[in-house]
Every structure is written in C-alpha cells, then in structure tokens.
Amino acid sequence: MQIVKPVEQVDMARNKRLLNRYRYIEYETLRILAAWLPATARMEYKLALGRFIWEEAQHVQHLYRRLREVQTPAFRPPDDPALEELMAEAINAPDERSLLAGLFRVIKPALAAAYRWHITQTFANPDAPTLYALRHILLDETEHLAWAEAELADHPADDWERYIADLLAHAGGVTGDSDRPALSSPSACRKPFKTPLTAARDERFAIMTQPWGDATARAKDEEAERRLAEFENYSQEMLAAETVALIIHLSPEMPWGFVYDSARHCYDETRHCLLGIEWMEQHGLDYARVPQNIRIYEWRSQYDPATQYCLLTRGNEAHAFPFRHKSLAQYEAAGDLLSAQYVSYDIADERQHVAYGSKWLLELMTQNNIDLPLDQFIEETVDLWRREYMSGELPLHRQREEAS
C-alpha cells in the first residue's frame, strides 16, 4: 500500500485551532474599535472606524460560517491566555493614534501574513471554503493596512506599539506557533480604557451650547431652510453611530447575530453622517461649521444599553419616516435628484434599524435585568424619549450617571 505524505502544513486539527485564533482576533478588534468610536476625536477616523467595524464583522462572519461546519459550538475562546492578554490590552492605548498603530501596524499585518501563509498550507481542495473566506478577508485587510500606512505615516512607532508587538510575540504570533519570548514590562503610556460617556470631537468643531429647543420650535417651514437643516442633521448622525458603538461595547454577552446587525447599524450611521458631509460639500458648505450637539450622546449614555437601544430604534428611528417621506416628495417635486437619492437610501437603512430594534430589544432587556413586558418597556421608553429628547431638554440625571 502506497502512503503519500502530504506537503501541506495545516491539517484539520491545526486548521480549527488557527481559525479559532483568527476569529477571536477579528472579533476582539471589532469590539475595541466600537469601544473607541465615541472616544476618538478626529472625524475622518470616526468615519473610517464605522467601515472597519462592519468589515471586521464580515470577517468574523466568514470565519464563523466555516467554523460551524467543523466544530460545535462554532465560537470558542482561543485557549491561549497570552493571546487573550494581547487583545485585552490592545484597548488600553494612550490615545486614538496609538490605538490605531497597535491594531493596524502590529496586529493586522501579522494577521494578514498568517492568512497568506495559511492559504498556501491548507489542503486546497478539501478545505476550499476556508480558502474562500481568507482570500475575501484579505481584500479588506489589505485596504485597512494601506489606510493606516497613509494615515499614520507621520506617527512614529512609540512605546505603545513596542508593547503590543511584545504581547503578540509572547503569544507566539497570530498562529501561536512561533517562539514565545518572555514578556517585558507594560508600556509606561498604557491608559486603562474607560467607557466614554461623552462623545469626542476634534478642534475644528464648535460644540452646541445653547438650549436645543423643542422639536416644533426647531421645525423649518421654508423649503430651502428645511432642506439645509435636514442635511446638517445628517452630518451629525455620528451621534447615532456612537450610541450603537457604545451599546456593542457594553453588551459583550449578546449573541453574535446582534453584534453583526449592530456593526451594520453603526456603519450605516457613519455613512449617513458622511452623506450629510458630502451633501454640504457639494453645496459649497463646510460641515465643520455645524455646531455638534454631543449632548445627545451624553444624555443617551446615562441609560442602560437596552434603554439606549429603545430610545434610538423606537424613538428616533421609528418616528423619522413621515418627515423623511415628506422630504423625499418635496425633493422629487423640485427635481432635486441628489437630495432625493440620499434620503431614499437613508430610508432603506432606517427600515432595517427599526427591524433590528424589534429583533433584539427583548434579549437586550434580559441581559440588562429589565423584567417588564416588552410593550410596556417600549411605551415607557418612548414616553421618556418624548419628554427628554423631543422637548430638547436632554437632562442629565446625576444619580443615574454615578450609579452606572
């Protein structure tokens, strides 16, 4: 009997172990980026983070689909404390650029290199679904690396990056198979991550300080004014993305399906923000001159994640449709194709967001120990939204903030 010795280095057991490590790194990267979205000040970075969060979710989804074919349960910890320590530490960066440098100049390049190596070493035909997943993930990862290379070109490798590289080496690299040198001391610039209760903005933006006024007083009758106000508001939708990102960060026990939907929700809101920015630029206007109403994020963030999710999906999002449809009709009647297109796509996204709300709210309530019938919770939370958001008051309840 002839025995053929395979040349491939990745057998099925090793394949599973590696896929678990990749899935873990991709998922934790998503969670770290979500945690940092509100804390990141530079608008260009915030907009990019929205896309990265969604794309990391696609990567996890690819790996999840493959893992569930070869193991049950599909999601497993990597069974390597050193790798868990790396991803637990990567969030504690001193600032947003160091955070991105650690993730995009240390961890991601190593991950991409592991994917490229893996593609050449697994059994090409029997393991073709893994190859498909890795090849498609690499399309995004290559772009992420190029983005970071350009954005961080003037950011020198610092002690933080050295620390992340040390932690990665101590975990035996992405595959865990390299030599594991002893860990040196943590970076002196390490800053324990704190949940951001306020939304950061860079120095270009003015912060809205005057009272917001109630919804009726804010409404504009004149068509051009109303249109401008609508797209100025779009340019502020980073606030919704920040709330969804915060909910992802605060809900580590929610199922993967929730994180996947929320990654999309978060990305959509960054796209709506960008759509406002683009519209303003196309009309010769500077979006940075629109004062940022970051109080909205601060107000929402004082509540538990289920309440925040309900305020957003059942308050803001569920109630926006009549306004948007009126806009759409006006833009179409005026032959304003650009505005009509933007609003049409927004309406399609927002329908999904309301559907996510219906799909996940009950489970999020359970996670947050809210023991009310769903309908009652929604009714009370929408009342709260009317009282505190629609009135423009956005009160901060000190005791609640301290208790959180």
Residue ranges in contact with Fe ion by CB under 5 A: 237, 269, 272, 317, 350, 353
**110 vs 266, beta carbon nearer Fe ion:** 266
User: Is 365 within 8 Å of 376 (Cβ atoms)?
Assistant: no
**55 vs 317, beta carbon nearer Fe ion:** 317
Is 154 buried (19+), middle (13-18) or exposed (0-12) by CB count in 10 A? exposed
Q: How far is the CB of 272 from Fe ion (least distance, A)?
A: 4
Q: How far is the CB of 241 from Fe ion (least distance, A)?
A: 8
**92 vs 236, beta carbon nearer Fe ion:** 236
Tokens of 144: 């992420």
Instruction: Indicate if the alpha-carbon torsion angle 116, 118, 123, 129 is positive or negative.
Output: negative
**127 vs 350, beta carbon nearer Fe ion:** 350
**Alpha-carbon span 79 to 314, nearest angstrom:** 40
Q: How far is the CB of 82 from Fe ion (least distance, A)?
A: 39
Residue type, 91: I
Axis crossing angle, helix 337-367 with helix 321-333, rounded to the nearest 10: 170
**264 vs 353, beta carbon nearer Fe ion:** 353
Q: How far is the CB of 223 from Fe ion (least distance, A)?
A: 22
Q: How far is the CB of 353 from Fe ion (least distance, A)?
A: 4
**242 vs 269, beta carbon nearer Fe ion:** 269
Sorted by sequence, the CB contacts under 8 Å of residue 349 that are 6+ apart come out as: 268, 271, 272
Q: How far is the CB of 232 from Fe ion (least distance, A)?
A: 14
Sorted by sequence, the CB contacts under 8 Å of residue 230 that are 6+ apart come out as: 327, 343
